[in-house]
Amino acid sequence: MRQPQIDLDRLLDDIRELVEIESPSSDLDAVARSAEVVARLGAAHLGVPPERLVVDGATHLRWRFGPGPHVLVLGHHDTVWPHGTLERIPYAVSDGVLRGPGCFDMLAGLVMAFHAVAALPAPDGVCVLVTGDEELGSPSSRALIEAEAREASAVLVLEASADGGALKTARKGTSMYEIEVVGRAAHAGLEPEKGVNATLELAHQVPAVAALFDQAAGTTVTPTSATAGTTLNTVPGAARFTVDVRAWSGVEQERVDAGIRALTPVLEGAKLVVHGGINRPPLEEALSKALFERAAKVAARLGLPVPEQAAVGGASDGNFAAGVGTPTLDGLGAVGGGAHAEDEHVLVDRLVDRTALLYGLLAELLVDPPADPAGGRP
């Protein structure tokens, strides 16, 4: 197997085009505009336009080549950055570092995917799926991702790498909650005793929720945003707070979920309403180990940097793919850092070798698909 010819200048031009189309996940019109640019770039490389799949207003794109089962190449084109970010953090390349909102997470990965698939002698057996709501938890694309993953022999996720270019062989599962506290409003000066203070109830519930963490298991339970009350002189009649949960196993997710749903009010007359729940299952190493080993061997054969592996707390759409039992390898995208942060960046000198690694892994998997992992698929 020889390294493909990857044009770095064209990679950079394509990344710039995507970075300069702002695509905050919550703005469906912006996501639709971004999808048109992604569709045009993808079609230029892959030779055909994608299917446009609009679900609940979010625009997703899919290219399928040949009959299944496919190797699914998975990415997203939405970003966390609000409109106007480009004015503060414009696209730029300086001293070998590329910057711009969304470049690392994960617009560079999308461009790498197009270049790698286009370099294959024939893309038959590849499916490229680009979703538009990953940063929101993939509410409209989850079913699409899971359906494609069930039909795939392997899933390669173009999310950005871990530190130093490590591939992501394990990801924590995520759960997201909003806990609503229902109290009763009253005048704080005239008759506070007639109220049920939702702020006080919230103060009881936050530490109860936080106590569900398990350090030994690596399970984090983090109360995040909170609101309560209306005016200074009113006993608060309502409050709410959100909770972020991360766990390495589905068993731990279920334990925390049961604990949150078992919460009971402390103040007489108060009520609790739990919204949300388990969002993404974990990506467990058993579903990525064989693919990682093959990626390392491909890198060695092509004379590329051999990647290490990493387990990370953040979740991606790779969690959904692994959740249906399909072998999944994540973090195949750009090398850099600063995801969701002001210093988001991509190392330019790693774009070509990472694209070549994806090409090599795709070429091998199309000829020799992986066996089902132990235990089969649910």
| Residues forming CATH 3.40.630.10 domain(s) in the chain | 8-172+282-367
| Active-site position among 22, 78, 105, 159 | 78
- 8-172+282-367 is classed CATH 3.40.630.10: yes
Tokens of 282: 């974990």
Collapsing DSSP to helix, strand or coil, 298 comes out as: helix
Distance CA 73, CA 313 (A): 22
- Residues composing the chain: 378
Please say if the pLDDT value at position 99 is more than 70.
yes
Distance CA 141, CA 171 (A): 19
Do 295 and 329 contact (CB within 8 A), yes or no? yes
| Residues forming CATH 3.30.70.360 domain(s) in the chain | 176-280
Do 192 and 206 contact (CB within 8 A), yes or no? no
What's the pLDDT tens digit per position in 297-331? 999 999 999 999 999 999 999 999 999 999 999 99
The predicted model gives 178-194 an average pLDDT of 98
Among candidate residues 376, 358, 8, 313, the one with its CA nearest the CA of residue 170: 313
Q: Specify the pLDDT at position 374.
A: 43
Do 157 and 288 contact (CB within 8 A), yes or no? no
Distance CA 138, CA 89 (A): 26
The predicted model gives 348-375 an average pLDDT of 89
| Active-site position among 14, 22, 105, 134 | 134
Please say if the pLDDT value at position 258 is more than 80.
yes
Active site residue 134: yes
Tokens of 163: 């530190």
What is the bridge-based pairing of β-strands 126-131 and 70-76? Answer: parallel
Distance CA 321, CA 275 (A): 25
Do 209 and 243 contact (CB within 8 A), yes or no? yes
The predicted model gives 250-271 an average pLDDT of 98
Average pLDDT of the chain to the nearest whole number: 96
Active site residue 146: no
Tokens of 177: 């909650």
> In sequence order, what are the residues at sequence separation of 6 or more whose Cβ sits closer than 8 angstroms to the Cβ of residue 194?
184, 186, 235
Distance set, CA 355 to CA 62, 262, 294 (Å): 20, 48, 16
The predicted model gives 2-9 an average pLDDT of 92
Q: Specify the pLDDT at position 248.
A: 96
Please say if the pLDDT value at position 200 is more than 60.
yes
Q: Provide the Cα torsion 226, 231, 235, 240; round to 10°.
A: -20
Do 62 and 129 contact (CB within 8 A), yes or no? yes
The CATH code of the domain at 176-280 is 3.30.70.360
Q: Specify the pLDDT at position 109.
A: 98
Distance CA 227, CA 35 (A): 35
Among candidate residues 159, 180, 192, the one with its CA nearest the CA of residue 225: 180
Do 86 and 171 contact (CB within 8 A), yes or no? no
Q: Specify the pLDDT at position 272.
A: 98
